[in-house]
A = this chain, B = another copy of it.
């Protein structure tokens, strides 16, 4: 008899994982994209716009030249011995590559490294953290990872022993957390971000959810905070962060700080503070608060999602100030961040100008999470189509405009409210068309379903 590997006999924890940012809507979009190739003109739009995932370079954002120069030189060090290289690469990229290679045993980028990552790289990361926060950082506390997600999985794997171990997670949250907790057999303990206060984090709600979980016998082990927020895009205020670290200390919780959007701040009245800096500022040392922070090369202004780089514990990025490439580097960096800020504002305004849509300010990250106040008739139509109302709306949006967004139900939301998550990443020259197409769709949708 042949072995059957089927849904019935697979690890149910794996089957429980859901990942809305790559879910039904996206799969449908890929089919429509094939249809556009095979039958051009067969759809009311001529391209698919992927606003479902924070993947800047797939939408045309160009990588930062300096990083790619250094990467190419480190991958093929023979170039460093050739004269022509000087005319192809900037001088500081050449010296940075030499400096990085000098920290790698045998200059062997093709060798297994220390399990935590190359010591020289961790030294540079620790130095960047220290200069950003004004508090010391230790290379031994840095764990280089291939993106932030593997670090999150590692921590969940380490902390979760069984289904009685709970992790406090924001709702809405990025599905990585619900998926990872499910995968490792723990319990997600939700706390709700307050949309009325710009997706604020209320300690009172944290406290309530924690006590509620403990009363059910859940051993709550950690608190996940995403700052700047995903999918909500808010930036936490400093005093709010202080309350959070005190809450974690007093309640004996590990603080898991997702800080991958620390470079993505779009408002002048908010700034990013790492939770490590906040913890040290209120006088907490290592013994007072177990704190894991996640950083990634996929976000920020670098957006190198495909290169799979990240760290556990906070990391900084040292710009080649004053060197030949610096002007170009600075211009590219500022250009990307300023453009993202303009795109965020344009989309936010557009959403708020539409009937039945209210959208909080995009303070940071790469997303807007507008609330769609759906008419009863639309909710009934969704029920008839056996879909969540926001999924029904997103599917209709895709089919009539080619714009791919993620239904709020994929992130969690206050019951009875409906949202979509839309990235701000389409290139700037495309934003007006995105807005026009969205507006036309939404007005037609409301006209069709208005109560």
On A, residues with C-beta under 8 Å from B are: 1-5, 9-12, 14, 22, 53, 55-58, 60, 63, 65, 68-69, 71-73, 75-76, 78-79, 82, 84-85, 87-88, 105-106, 108-113, 115, 146, 157-161, 183-184, 221, 248-250, 252-254, 287-290, 298, 303-308
Contact = CB atoms under 8 A, between A and B. Distances in A.
13 contacts: A9-B161, A11-B159, A14-B157, A14-B158, A53-B112, A55-B112, A57-B106, A58-B108, A68-B78, A71-B75, A110-B304, A113-B306, A308-B308
Contacts of A75: 68, 71-72, 75
Contacts of A108: 57-58, 306
- Copies of the protein in its oligomer: 2
B11 A160 contact: yes
A111 B55 contact: yes
A170 to B, nearest CB: 19
B288 A2 contact: yes
A424 to B, nearest CB: 16
A87 B86 CA distance: 13
A80 to B, nearest CB: 11
Given A58-B111, A82-B88, 17 more contacts: A1-B249, A2-B290, A3-B253, A3-B254, A3-B289, A9-B161, A11-B159, A55-B112, A56-B111, A68-B76, A71-B75, A71-B76, A84-B87, A109-B307, A110-B305, A146-B146, A146-B308
A108 B11 CA distance: 35
A256 to B, nearest CB: 11
A58 B2 contact: no
Contacts of A82: 88
Given A111-B305, A304-B110, A11 B58 contact: no
| 4 pairs of A and B residues whose beta carbons are closest in the complex | A72-B76, A58-B111, A57-B110, A57-B108
A252 to B, nearest CB: 4
Contact of A3 (B5, B115, B290, B303): B290
A78 to B, nearest CB: 7
Nearest to A58: B111
A2 B108 CA distance: 42
Contacts of A3: 221, 248, 252-254, 289-290
A429 B254 CA distance: 52
Interface centre among A12, A75, A288, by most chain B C-beta atoms within 10 angstroms, is A75
A12 B303 CA distance: 36
A303 B110 contact: yes
Contacts of A9: 161
Contacts of A288: 2
A306 B112 contact: yes
Nearest to A11: B161
B290 A58 contact: no
A254 B9 CA distance: 12
A158 B11 CA distance: 5
Nearest to A223: B3
B305 A112 contact: yes
Nearest to A114: B30
A79 B73 contact: no
Contacts of A12: 161
A254 B4 CA distance: 8
A336 B11 CA distance: 42
Contacts of A113: 306
Contacts of A252: 1-4
A157 B180 CA distance: 13
Contacts of A73: 72
Nearest to A21: B112
A75 B53 CA distance: 22
A38 B75 CA distance: 31
A66 to B, nearest CB: 10
Given A78-B68, A79-B72, A248-B3, A306 B111 contact: yes
A88 B76 CA distance: 11
B2 A289 contact: yes
Contact of A58 (B105, B183, B184): B105
Interface centre among A10, A57, A72, A111, by most chain B C-beta atoms within 10 angstroms, is A111
Contacts of A78: 65, 68
